[in-house]
Amino acid sequence: MQIKLSKYLKTFIPFTIGLFCIIYSYTTLNQKDIDSIIVSFANAKYVWIVLGVFFGVLSHISRSYRWKFLLEPLGYKITFLNSIMAIFSAYLINYTAPRAGDIARGTIAYKYEKIPFEKGVGTIVAERAVDLLCFIILIIIGLILKYDQLIICVNKIFTNKDASIDANNYSNTNYLIIIFVTVFLVMFFVLKKSNIFVKVKLFLKGLSEGFMIIFKLKNKWNFIFHSIFIWVMYVLMFYVASKGINGLPELDFSIILISFILSSLTLILTPGGIGSYPLAIQASLGCFAIGDVSSLSFGWIMWSSQTLMIIIFGGISLLLLPIYNKHRNKTNK
């Protein structure tokens, strides 16, 4: 009973957070703002939006191709079509519950390619380790490019005042850092002997073991290339889509990168970033004095286009997987 309750809560809570974000976003807008957002959808330059979707598709294709490099050292092969359909199916299933897609992907690999479930999931853990490293590198680049502006943003968020860079702002930021470090240390010692701490240790151990697999790959440079390519496509997808929004000023790379990072974090918070993704884009662009309406319009158009892509390709993949493999098994006999 307790396990079932935990399972339901893992699904219910993220959706509740997403619904809250949608309601909160709506209540902060007046009718004029809502009308402006509707106009933004109507007048968007969809050539740029479609190009962004295309880059998103390329990233998923590259991810599908990269997977085979992790499976080969284990003695298993997966057809390209099964790989890409498993990837898109997993992304679609992730909208139902966080990380459910990873389990589904391992299940698909076992069902259609006879790859042991634990082996398939193990390679997915290795992928996550590499993706986490790539994401951390992007965060570091963003901090280097816009460190001063981020200080202003932090000060604005916590004091609700516009600010310029001066000694007081650096002092405020230093105080915040001290507070965060103190809270982290307290939580560390409190949770050290708890089950949560044990689970975190196992998670980090899994990531480190997954990351070490890369150095044993025969085609590690191909693997590294595709890992870089995937994240370049993610950022490029975000950048070109921003060009399709009327009223949104030309954004330099550093602003795009920071907004991409913050919005990507919401994918952990709610399934597919529902509700939270557009709000994160609005908040991040707001730190750079970009209007709420245009930035929120960009957030919703960006989220809608990517979600539609996943629904279409993920749905087609779920339908075609049994058909393709039934035909494949017949031809192999």
pLDDT of 85 over the 90 cut = yes
Residue 94 has a pLDDT of 86
Rg of the chain over CA atoms, in angstroms?
Answer: 22
Q: Is the residue at 255 inside a domain?
A: yes
313 domain residue, yes or no = yes
Residue that wins the pLDDT comparison between 60 and 149: 60
How far from chain centre, in Å, is Cα 274? 12
Tell me, what's the pLDDT at 212?
65
Residue 262 or residue 292, greater confidence: 262
Quick one: which of 81, 60, 82 has its CA closest to 229? 60
Q: How many domains are contained in the chain?
A: 1
Confidence of residue 199 (pLDDT cuts 50, 70, 90): low
Residue 32 inside a domain? The answer is no
Q: Which residue has the higher pLDDT, 200 or 114?
A: 114
- The reply to whether 19 falls in a domain is no
pLDDT for res 202? 58
Within 13 Å and on the Cβ side, how many CA atoms surround 137? 11
Is 17 among the domain residues? no
- pLDDT tens digits, residue range 296-311? 889 889 999 999 999 9
User: What's 146's DSSP letter?
Assistant: T
Give me the domain span that covers residue 59: 44-332
- The whole-chain average pLDDT of the chain stands at 78
**Per-residue confidence (pLDDT) for residue 65, from 0 to 100:** 92
- Check residues 114 and 174 and name the one with the higher pLDDT: 114
* 288, pLDDT greater than 60: yes
57 domain-assigned: yes
Residue 58 within a domain: yes
Residue 12 within a domain: no
pLDDT at 164: 45
CA 147, 229, 82, 240 torsion-angle sign: positive
Given a contact cutoff of 8 angstroms between Cβ atoms, the answer to whether 138 and 261 are in contact is: yes
